[in-house]
Structure 1
């Protein structure tokens, strides 16, 4: 499972184990699974899709710009606003 955190300047909104997250990067959407290579990307206004299980229906969350970081601990999205 992938550890996923969604953070805004106000608070930590999510910290959970998920199957995959699709992120609206400024260079295009990208999916992150467990074991993804480390990288950072800017994030555009859009929708993140959170898949709790493989093949499941995603939960979606609207976000406004920010950054996404993938490292050995998982995926962290730092968004200006979410919800």
Structure 2
């Protein structure tokens, strides 16, 4: 499982283990699974798609701006606004 956190300047929105997350990167959408290579990306306004199980229906969270970081601990999306 991939540990996923969605954070805004005001609060922690989500912190959970999921199957896959698709993020609206500045250079295009990217999907992150467990074991993804470390990297950072700026993100554009759009929807984060959170898939809790393989083949499951993704949950959509609208975000505005920010950046994403993938490291050994999982994926953290730091959004200017979420919801």
Task: Please state which band the TM-score falls in when normalised by the shorter chain.
Answer: over 0.9
Q: Aligned runs of 1:5-16 on 2, under 5 Å? A: 5-16=5-16
Answering whether residue 42 of structure 2 is matched by residue 42 of structure 1, we say yes
Number of aligned positions between the proteins: 83
Q: TM-score, normalised by structure 1?
A: 1.00
TM-score, normalised with respect to structure 2: 1.00
Q: Counterparts of 1:1-83 in structure 2 under 5 Å?
A: 1-83=1-83
Stretches of structure 1 lacking an aligned partner (at least 5 in a row): none
Q: Structure 2 unaligned runs (5+)?
A: none
Q: CA deviation at 1:34?
A: 0.1
- 4+ residue stretches of structure 1 with deviation over 4 A? none
TM-aligned CA deviation for residue 73 of structure 1: 0.1
- CA shift at 1:82, angstroms? 0.1
**Could you say what the CA RMSD is over the residues aligned between the two structures, in angstroms?**
0.2
